[in-house]
Amino acid sequence: MIHSLDLATLYQSIRQIRTSVQATTKSSEVMNLVTKLAVEALGAKGALVRILNLETGELELGAAYGLGERYLAKGPVSSHKIITDLCEQDKVVIIDDIRKDPRLQYPNEAMAEGIVMVLDAPLWLQNQVFGLIRVYFSEPRSFSQQELDFMAAIAEQCAFAIDKARLIERHNLEYGQLALRTEKLSALGRLAAGLAHEINNPLAGILLYSTNLIKKVDPDGPLKQGLEVIIEETLRCRRIIQEILEFSREREPQKSLSSLNEVIEKALVLMEHEFYLRHISLDKRLDTHLPDLSIDPVQIRQVIINLLVNAIEAIGDFGRITVSSRMALDRMSQVVEISDTGSGISPDHINKVFDPFFSTKSKGTGLGLSVSYGIARSHGGQIKVSSEPKEGTCFKVELPMADPDPEH
């Protein structure tokens, strides 16, 4: 028996999927629509979409229509045989003997659902199969070429829709995290400013009295050593207070048309002595054709120095730091990348590096990267980090060519 599928049904189904792609930002809504359309157009019992989980190698349920909960509750299925066949054949696959075919891993449960045959259509993205649409039938039948083309067409549309929806979902998540981090930075900045001023006054008193006392005690007596420790630690606290105040000021950038490469070069000159002492080699890859852009050169130099200091501390001694500048691919921004051959950042810490007061260093305040992050944001740009433990870290600073619209 061959089920009839007219061109009007095919056209209407494709149009509905395209409309859904434009209207929704959720991949689940598109997958639900695709399974429903496949069942209705082909006169099937049910359908589902499975998406490949790259970590587990299993095909996980994305959406289903017309199938019982008992069958769906069987969970993810192994992808190896299914994906291999779909890749090799590069077309819709018909499974007409569900009892013996290894691509159907729960044949008894399927037969209990009244299923006798299955149709698989691959979901392709960037020349790789990342999932499938599986349609279930309750009676044996043959398929016209038109029906197989229909399945291939809606699978192609579904793959495109899932990719687009995932991109939007990822951007929305990044925006939400960015907004949360910005709000947290602002709140912590106000709190830090108040605490810093309160602590600064008693510190000044401690420093004043201890420096006066040390002049009056016996140079060889036991009190001198204790007072030296007090003075040293008080000075350290004062430096931390200064960093906190710098973090909390949120000074507006004093922008002017400046050469990003010149800012980088000045930062490198200031760090030259540290490179020499630590036996760290510098690999400089600056694009000499970059136009000037509107930045606060002092603030951006501070960002670069902060990132270089982090790179030096991650390396310790004997390593390499690479500093590069270039135009972004969309030519809407300029990019500075600072990478090192240091110890790297653990996966548990990678999402916390820009948080205020977070530091893995014994004497770190955890403010350097937070200050840098705030400066980049005040320029309408951003800082991104990528790292592998024991393989090094790369920080990427993106600065827009044009000032952001203040109304947006």
Same domain for 152 and 277, yes or no, is no
In a domain? residue 238: no
Same domain for 158 and 303, yes or no, is no
In a domain? residue 223: no
Q: What is the CATH number of the domain that holds 150?
A: 3.30.450.40
Mean pLDDT of 104-132: 84
Domain boundary pick from 116, 149, 172: 172
Same domain for 259 and 376, yes or no, is yes
Residue 174 has pLDDT above 60, yes or no: yes
Q: Bridge-partner residues for 321, per DSSP?
A: 282, 340
Residue 398 has pLDDT above 90, yes or no: yes
Domain boundary pick from 172, 198, 220: 172
Domain boundary pick from 172, 188, 221: 172
- Specify the higher pLDDT residue, 297 or 69: 297
Same domain for 166 and 263, yes or no, is no
Residue 392 has pLDDT above 60, yes or no: yes
Q: How many domains does the chain have?
A: 2
Please give the structure tokens belonging to residue 333. 């921004």
Same domain for 162 and 298, yes or no, is no
Same domain for 142 and 274, yes or no, is no
In a domain? residue 215: no
Q: Of all residues in the chain, what percent are helix, strand and coil, respectively (each to 5)?
A: 50, 20, 30
Greatest distance between any 2 Cα atoms in the chain? 108
Residue 365 has pLDDT above 70, yes or no: no
Same domain for 156 and 257, yes or no, is no
Predicted TM-score (pTM) of this structure: 0.45
Can you give the residue range of the structural domain that contains 98?
7-172
Which residues lie closer than 8 Å to 141 by C-beta, 6 or more apart?
A: 1, 2, 3, 117
CA quadruple 134, 137, 140, 142: dihedral positive or negative? negative
